Amino acid sequence: MNNRTFYEFFAGGGMARLGLGADWHCQFANDFDPIKAATYRENWGHAHFSAEDINDLKVKQLEGCVDLAWASFPCQDLSLAGNALGLGTATEQTRSGAFWAFWSLMQGLANEARAPKIIVLENVYGSLTANQGRDFAMICRCLALAGYRFGAMILDAVAFLPQSRPRMFLVAIRGDIPIPSRLVANGPVGAMHPRAMEQALLRLAEVDQSQWVWWKVPSPSVQRHQLLDLLEPDDVVQWHDKEATSKLLDMMSALNRQKLERMTAIGTRCVGTIYKRTRVEGGKRVQRAELRDDGIAGCLRTPGGGSSRQFVVIVEGASIRTRLLSAREVARLMGLPDSYRLPRRYNDAYHLAGDGLAVPVVAHLAQNLINPVLDESVAVSSLAA
């Protein structure tokens, strides 16, 4: 039964929707990227979806009073790979500053007594420290002034999928919604709350710190897939010819060649991944092929040029073959089922996935924090009645 409702902003291909599961009903979703919008509609239909720029949305377009508002706002100006412009202001926005348009909608809902019970903001790890931590502090200030209690955590997709993908999840609960004590820790909990997060908290105004919650979410108990398990059959993917493979391997530094030699010495089929990166060596910029040999893919990124696409290297004794990750493999690395309809162009599919959410991480957060908070709220309301 669809008894929980949500809005999904910056929806991409609807990965938050997929992670929340069938018990959740989407009241409204938006993304103004035409490829993402088309993919969302192909997988989820046209109902309640808008392809408008979030700056042009009106509160009246948001139906009802939902349990959850999810926003994975753009990360370009908050990531280490970005241009470090930060959130900007409500009047002078950066791309990541689309947060302000989202927040304007949340304020409009609050003015109509329709503030969501829970708000989840997802972004890159660097959002904790971007602009010397001032951006994170501004977001927390907004939440505190709106009467929410909130806390952040770092969840890495590698606990569920063979992809290293740490992301920050800031979960805010409306002030009148009870929070079960079992979901709250007395202080930071391991890798979920790294030192950077403790430092980010110290940068908040004291009144905002008083609204902070150290969320307690259990470690996943699922058996993670291996990268080899997610690869498509050799005969359905396009491999590099020997010349292209040699050219890629020639770009490796001595350290990365040593990794490749260790893989070769194993003798059995093993897999690695490669990113092309530009490094400064001897005062010169040099493009290098950097190998990851632990059977885990590097963090997927949007393909802003060939260097940001990830390669697969298969080693079987002396045999070394290379190719790009396929579109379906990229989707699998995000936890998307093979029934999910991807854009037909390779770069579009890669962009959709690389800019998206790891589905099992959303599911884990829903099952272990969001749903229990809502269940407690329903139980308390029933007793009061």
Please give the chain's pLDDT, 385 residues, in tens: 458 999 999 999 999 999 999 999 999 999 999 999 999 999 999 999 999 999 999 999 999 999 999 999 885 544 444 444 455 554 554 444 789 999 999 999 999 999 999 999 999 999 999 888 999 999 999 999 999 999 999 999 999 999 999 999 999 999 999 999 999 999 999 999 999 999 999 999 999 999 999 999 998 877 778 899 999 999 999 999 999 999 999 999 999 999 999 999 998 999 999 999 999 998 999 999 999 999 999 999 887 655 579 999 999 999 999 999 999 999 999 999 999 999 999 999 999 999 999 999 999 999 999 999 999 988 776 666 5
Q: Which domain holds residue 313?
A: 233-325
**How close are the terminal C-alpha atoms of the chain, in Å?**
23
Residue 281, domain member (yes or no): yes
Residue 337, domain member (yes or no): no
- The enclosing domain of 12 has a CATH number of 3.40.50.150
Residue 258 CB: number of other CB atoms within 10 A?
A: 13
Q: How many domains does the chain have?
A: 2
Helix (H, G, I), strand (E, B) or coil at 84: coil
Residue 75 and residue 181 share a domain: yes
Residue 170 and residue 141 share a domain: yes
Assess contact for 263 and 280: CB atoms under 8 A. no
Residue 250 and residue 182 share a domain: no
Distance, CA of 139 to CA of 161 (rounded, Å): 29
Distance, CA of 183 to CA of 175 (rounded, Å): 16
Residue 189 and residue 81 share a domain: yes
For the question of whether the overall pTM of this predicted structure is more than 0.85, the answer is yes
Residue 240 and residue 209 share a domain: no
Residue 266 and residue 371 share a domain: no
Q: List the one residue out of 2, 14, 20 whose CA is nearest residue 368.
A: 20
Residue 118 and residue 43 share a domain: yes
Residue 275, domain member (yes or no): yes
